[in-house]
Amino acid sequence: MKATSHHIRFILDNQWVELDFQQSENIRPSTTLLNYLRCLPSHKGVKEGCAEGDCGACTVVVAELNTNNELEYKALDSCLVFLPMIHGKQIITIENLEQHIGKEIQLHPVQQLMVENNGSQCGYCTPGIVMSLFALYKNHHKPEKEVIEDALTGNLCRCTGYKPIIEAAKHACIHQGKDHFSEKQQEIKQQLLNIKKDNTSILLYHSEQLYMLPQNLNDALKLKKQYPNAVLIAGATDTALRQTKKGEIIPQIIDLSQVEELKNIEITDKSVIIGSSLPLEKLKSGIEKSFPALFNILKVFGSLQIRNIATMGGNIGSASPIGDTLPFLFACKAVIKLQSFDTKRKIPIEDFIIGYRKTAIKTDELIVAIEIPFIPENVILKSYKVSNRKDLDISTVSVCFRLQLSNDKKVKEIIIVYGGMAVQTLRAKKTEAFLNGKTWNKQIVETAMEILYNEFTPISDARSDKEYRKLACRNLLMKFWDETK
């Protein structure tokens, strides 16, 4: 495998930047984009609020080439982005939005409308909000309120209130995305194409770290075979917290974010096959009509900034007991496709997750795809998420129900899968066994609720105590019955 040894390239302030990690002890490959920008004299607008992708104060926008080699603009939480993840992209910060025309400063439309609508008070969160609005401006013309609110779910403002910000977005996004960035778009596109043509995988050496950035699947599989203990990332929305919150330096990282073969989505007559590194926002837009149940889950998965980099492969691979997609995947009988340099195999997701943050993946394997069979028309599938906030919040309890009834309202099949009730995502098999063959009525469901109440032994933590979880778990079954009776 041919590889450059120690540098990445990207565009910042309309200039090429090349970082050589062997030449600096202060910047390692896993330095976040936030911390890198903050160390520059001219990019202090990006702020650290939470360092875990929860507040949006660090939001920046990247312009990158899509599959048609056209530029796409995406808002990201820079506190979760390792520097190699921006290789071959343009970085846009709050400092890049205004124009200097002679001695005059001309604000970008989203900045100007924020001023006119009094959308800022203390100003700490304002740069991140403006960058989210800028991404909205580049991607949507006259967006509906729901689209505006979705663009802002990842930005917390503690003093202004969101109404003037929403008004600013509504009045700003009327120009078909045209601005001074449009004038340089072809030039930026050509520069990024030059990088894309060089499909050479990158190894970044640093005294504390080896960071591997394969550009194709074959190289990724070779690297995983050679470095079996390397941590795999695609969006790093979970792994980044090991560094930002715990101060951990990960010695070896294989970053799959630039492996295009892992970003496909294929819809067949029987199933949807999702590349493990496909960003969840791309997945969300790709399955709205074909798989509405999954679309509804992704609508409340994190924020737009997080969905722009988070992946289903990461959500599965982390094996978190509160992973938002896992109960759904269990109920749909999803199959995980694994591949090493020498072998390929498939494994049902229920057999893949084997404990708290533990999976059946081998040290030389990658998750390459997730296959989700379509649900027959006579099967009911519903998911619920209990959390303190509707948007951008971790589940306290989550569940997915799969139900098939006979013509006489008897249960032919029921699958009940909970997150947040045990050390891993689990089916409520005792409750399922009781309900199978029974008439789907309130009396039977009330009896099943008591079985369900005692089936799990959850823990108390910062989000909830165990008794609340048991009650929520039980009551969600009644909610499901009420919506399907």
The CATH number of whichever domain residue 212 belongs to comes to: 3.10.20.30
The answer to whether residue 246 is domain-embedded is: yes
Q: Are 319 and 206 in a shared domain?
A: no
- Segment 192-199 shows an average pLDDT of 88
Q: Residue 2: its pLDDT value, please?
A: 61
Average pLDDT, the chain: 95
Q: Which amino acid is at 356?
A: Y
Q: Classify strands 90-92 and 7-12 as parallel, antiparallel or unpaired.
A: parallel
Q: Are 268 and 360 in a shared domain?
A: yes
The CATH number of whichever domain residue 324 belongs to comes to: 3.30.465.10
- Segment 374-378 shows an average pLDDT of 93
Q: What is the CA radius of gyration of the chain?
A: 24
Of the candidates 255, 271, 300, which is a domain's last residue? 255
Report the SS3 class of residue 427: strand
Contact by Cβ (8 Å): 265, 274: yes
Contact by Cβ (8 Å): 126, 120: yes
The answer to whether residue 101 is domain-embedded is: no
Greater model confidence, 420 or 290: 420
Q: Residue 154: its pLDDT value, please?
A: 96
Q: Residue 298: its pLDDT value, please?
A: 94
Q: Residue 242: its pLDDT value, please?
A: 95
The answer to whether residue 100 is domain-embedded is: no
Report residue 149's pLDDT band, with 50, 70 and 90 as the boundaries.
Answer: very high
- Segment 167-178 shows an average pLDDT of 96
The answer to whether residue 102 is domain-embedded is: no
Q: Are 340 and 283 in a shared domain?
A: yes
CB-based contacts of 133: which residues, under 8 Å, 6+ apart? 110, 114, 151, 152, 165, 168, 169, 172, 173
Q: Residue 172: its pLDDT value, please?
A: 97
Q: Are 85 and 188 in a shared domain?
A: yes
- Residue 326 CA to residue 316 CA, distance in Å, equals 7
- Segment 364-383 shows an average pLDDT of 96
The answer to whether residue 251 is domain-embedded is: yes
Greater model confidence, 485 or 91: 91
Contact by Cβ (8 Å): 369, 337: yes
Contact by Cβ (8 Å): 202, 213: yes
The CATH number of whichever domain residue 143 belongs to comes to: 1.10.150.120
**pLDDT of 3 over the 90 cut:** no
CB-based contacts of 289: which residues, under 8 Å, 6+ apart? none
**Structural domains of the chain, count:** 4
- Residue 318 CA to residue 312 CA, distance in Å, equals 10
Q: Number of C-alpha atoms within 13 angstroms, CB side, residue 94?
A: 26
Q: Are 64 and 210 in a shared domain?
A: yes
Q: Residue 4: its pLDDT value, please?
A: 61
**Closest C-alpha to 484, from 387, 391, 416:** 416
Q: Residue 272: its pLDDT value, please?
A: 95
pTM value surpassing 0.75: yes
- What is the per-residue pLDDT across 239-248, written as a single tens digit (0 to 9) for each? 999 999 999 9
**Closest C-alpha to 180, from 123, 136, 226, 138:** 138
**pLDDT of 189 over the 70 cut:** yes
Opening angle at CA 65, ends 63 and 67, nearest 5: 145
Helices 109-116 and 163-172 cross at an angle (nearest 10°) of: 140
Q: Are 455 and 411 in a shared domain?
A: yes
Q: Are 404 and 366 in a shared domain?
A: no
Percentage of the chain exceeding pLDDT 90: 90
Of the candidates 130, 156, 178, which is a domain's last residue? 178
Report residue 303's pLDDT band, with 50, 70 and 90 as the boundaries.
Answer: very high
The CATH number of whichever domain residue 434 belongs to comes to: 3.30.390.50
Q: Are 410 and 270 in a shared domain?
A: no
Buried b (16+ CB within 10 A) or exposed e, 348-368: ebbebbeeeeebebeebbbbb
Report residue 207's pLDDT band, with 50, 70 and 90 as the boundaries.
Answer: confident
Structure tokens at 452: 């369900």
Q: Are 200 and 90 in a shared domain?
A: yes
Contact by Cβ (8 Å): 212, 30: no
- What is the per-residue pLDDT across 30-69, written as a single tens digit (0 to 9) for each? 999 999 999 999 999 999 999 999 999 999 999 999 989 9
Of the candidates 356, 373, 390, which is a domain's last residue? 373
Domain that holds residue 121: 109-178
- Residue 327 CA to residue 407 CA, distance in Å, equals 27
- What is the per-residue pLDDT across 257-289, written as a single tens digit (0 to 9) for each? 999 999 999 999 999 999 999 999 999 999 998
- What is the per-residue pLDDT across 120-138, written as a single tens digit (0 to 9) for each? 999 999 999 999 999 999 9
The answer to whether residue 444 is domain-embedded is: yes
The answer to whether residue 473 is domain-embedded is: yes
- Residue 466 CA to residue 456 CA, distance in Å, equals 10
Report the SS3 class of residue 3: strand
Q: How far apart are the first and last CA of the chain?
A: 59
The answer to whether residue 354 is domain-embedded is: yes
Residue 197 CA, chain-centre distance (Å), reads 27
Q: Are 155 and 217 in a shared domain?
A: no
- Segment 163-183 shows an average pLDDT of 96
Q: Are 281 and 404 in a shared domain?
A: no
Q: Residue 196: its pLDDT value, please?
A: 87
**pLDDT of 25 over the 80 cut:** no
Q: Are 330 and 361 in a shared domain?
A: yes
Count CB atoms within 10 A of the CB of residue 446.
13
